[in-house]
């Protein structure tokens, strides 16, 4: 353990420049450059899971860099908690897919129970993921802590606490359905099929 990680653990984040401590993978602003649909090549999927609002999802994922669904949205306005209740007894992880591309971004809970995952998420107002639950093939953290997909979907922010990185993520940003071919780089073509 380095002195820096020890201090970070004892006193929280040392500065806003330290928003991406390992195993977090940093990204740069080019990820969020203007594309065909805001910061993405494709709009949000129209058939989002858990009853997430498509219009809200499209706005937050593609035309936003700083704002979020309101705190508690995932528990007050969606079926997320009711639909995932069976996870309590099995502790089997749930998969969370990019609302635009259908790529797997998070798998939770890992290294904790469903009850612990939900408790932390409720305490903060948004689904809260830890490093082991992030699919680093498709998730990056920008210097200001903004957490995004490699395809330009705004997901939320990394708000580290005394136990490490905590990714506070909009449910509307990870309520997508898996799209066949998304893992092999065919996401743009898959997104165009979704539009038809």
pLDDT tens per residue across span 7-46: 444 444 334 444 687 899 999 999 999 999 999 999 999 9
Q: Is 178 left (phi over 0), alpha (psi -120 to 50) or beta?
A: beta
Q: Which tops the pLDDT comparison, 121 or 185?
A: 121
Q: Rounded distance, CA 49 to CA 80, Å?
A: 8
Rounded to two decimals, what is the model's pTM?
A: 0.84
| Confidence class for position 92, pLDDT limits 50, 70, 90 | confident
Burial state string for 88-117 with b = 16 or more CB within 10 A and e = fewer than 16: eeeeeebebbbbbbbbbbbebbeeeebeeb
At residue 74, the 3 state secondary structure works out as helix
Residues 6+ apart with CB under 8 A from 66: 146
Is the peptide bond between 21 and the residue preceding it cis, with omega within 30 degrees of 0? no
Both tokens of 72, joined, read: 């508690």
Q: Rounded distance, CA 99 to CA 38, Å?
A: 14
Q: What pLDDT, on the 0 to 100 scale, is given for residue 9?
A: 46
Residue 193 clears pLDDT 80, i.e. is over it: no
Residue 50 clears pLDDT 90, i.e. is over it: yes
């Amino acid at each position: 353990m380095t002195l820096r990680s020890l201090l970070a653990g004892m006193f929280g984040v040392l500065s806003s420049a330290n928003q991406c401590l390992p195993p977090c993978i940093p990204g740069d602003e080019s990820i969020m450059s203007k594309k065909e649909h805001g910061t993405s090549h494709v709009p949000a999927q129209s058939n989002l899971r858990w009853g997430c609002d498509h219009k809200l999802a499209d706005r937050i994922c593609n035309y936003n860099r700083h704002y979020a669904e309101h705190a508690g949205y995932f528990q007050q306005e969606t079926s997320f908690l009711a639909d995932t209740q069976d996870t309590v007894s099995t502790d089997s992880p749930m998969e969370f897919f990019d609302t635009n591309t259908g790529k797997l971004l998070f798998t939770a809970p890992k290294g904790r129970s469903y009850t612990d995952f939900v408790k932390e998420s409720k305490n903060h107002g948004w689904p809260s993921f830890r490093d082991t639950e992030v699919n680093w093939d498709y998730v990056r953290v920008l210097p200001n802590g903004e957490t995004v997909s490699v395809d330009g979907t705004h997901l939320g922010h990394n708000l580290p606490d005394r136990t490490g990185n905590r990714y506070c993520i909009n449910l509307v940003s990870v309520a997508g359905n898996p799209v066949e071919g998304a893992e092999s780089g065919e996401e743009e073509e898959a997104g165009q099929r979704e539009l038809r």
